[in-house]
Structure 1
């Protein structure tokens, strides 16, 4: 393998590792949120998001390329896993955060001010 090929292998490994970390972070965050916060925020249920993120985490883990080993798993599915994690982190997480006990004491959205 030439030098450029070695760099590509390392970059692909890092890329898929970042996708796995993103999916795992989204899953852990979802597991720490109360179920009532999801319905209060008008989002899909916590159970729905847990299953989506579990699938995303498993797919992204299986997609990590091990240098010299080909498992036959279609690694492009990791992009779908990344999309699911990003949707959760960018859309659902900020909507659920005000209803979480960690922020705002579970009293609903806080309206700033003095």
Structure 2
């Protein structure tokens, strides 16, 4: 097994992990109501759905556009680290 095969395998693994993160964030954004986004003081539900939907589509179609893919990956991670916990905290009360 050559180093190039190992590198290719790692890149493929990273591709699918990041795709899974973006899909999970998009599905999670769908589950919360629109008023809860405003109550949490975050961007609106349509805005997050647009951002996360574009992240998934770009990842599937044009994964080669590295800078945009990085920006959308960061957006998905921000949603999961900041927005989702704020929304989940509102529904627990």
Q: Same fold (TM over 0.5)?
A: yes
**Residues 1:6 and 2:8 are matched in the alignment:** no
**Residues 1:99 and 2:90 are matched in the alignment:** yes
Larger Rg: 1
TM-score when scaled to structure 1? 0.74
State the 1:92 CA deviation.
0.4
In structure 2, the residue matched to 1:107 is none
Superposed CA deviations along residues 63-84 of structure 1, whole A, max 9, x for unmatched, are 1xxxxxxxxx324432222101
Gaps of 5+ in 2: none
In structure 1, the residue matched to 2:70 is 79
Alpha carbon RMSD of aligned pairs, Å?
A: 1.5
In structure 2, the residue matched to 1:36 is 35
Matched residue SS, 1:97? helix
Gaps of 5+ in 1: 64-72, 105-109
Which has a greater percent of helix?
2
Matched residue SS, 2:81? helix
Cα separation, 2, equivalents of 1:99 and 1:35:
12
State the 1:48 CA deviation.
0.3
Superposed CA deviations along residues 21-57 of structure 1, whole A, max 9, x for unmatched, are 0000000000011111000001110000000000111
